[in-house]
Structure 1
């Protein structure tokens, strides 16, 4: 069983109002420097929301969302501190995450 952690916000906020590309690029470079495999993904309109653990009052059904998903809980906590206006949560899965589904 795999534990996944995520930071969720509107697509507009994450993609246009925050320097997300820079944040993820720096994280990727850091992982390369310490020889760690990348364990995070950016997902648009995530489908896992219905079975994840987080405050669902945050969701507006008429909005588009984006999520950064990771196996590293501390990375998601750090994103919450760095970005601020995101909701964090978690979910479990029997299989490895496939972002294009």
Structure 2
């Protein structure tokens, strides 16, 4: 089982009000230069929030939401400091209530 860390906020805040795309693009470029495998993902309407143990977190976050999920805790701490108005946390997966840590509840059109 792997521990996943996240920053969570409304999609509007993360995708429109903050320069998150630029931050993630720069991080991706840095990983490519260092030949490091990606360990972070942007997920709209993350399914892990549907788990019963995440009910209080889901209740705190404006909908629709988005999350940056990573296996690198330091990256998530850095993002929290950079973005400020986000929720952070962690969860183990796969588990009985979170089968796929990167799953989205957003319908693909």
Q: Output the TM-score relative to the length of structure 2.
A: 0.79
Secondary structure at the residue paired with 2:41? strand
- CA distance in 1: counterparts of 2:69 and 2:79, whole angstroms: 11
- TM-aligned CA deviation for residue 46 of structure 1: 0.8
Secondary structure at the residue paired with 1:67? strand
- TM-aligned CA deviation for residue 59 of structure 1: 2.8
55 and 34 in structure 1: CA distance in 2 versus 1, 3 angstrom threshold: farther
List per-residue Cα deviations over 1:42-61 (Å, max 9, x = no partner). 0001110244669625234x
Q: Output the TM-score relative to the length of structure 1.
A: 0.85
Note the residue ranges of structure 1 that are not aligned, 5 or more in a row.
none
Q: Alpha carbon RMSD of aligned pairs, Å?
A: 2.2
- CA distance in 1: counterparts of 2:33 and 2:70, whole angstroms: 18
* Misfit runs of 4+, over 6 Å: none
Number of equivalences: 99
- TM-aligned CA deviation for residue 41 of structure 1: 0.7
Alignment-derived partner of residue 40 in structure 2: 40
Q: Is the CA contact (8 Å cut-off) linking 1:54 and 1:90 kept in structure 2?
A: no
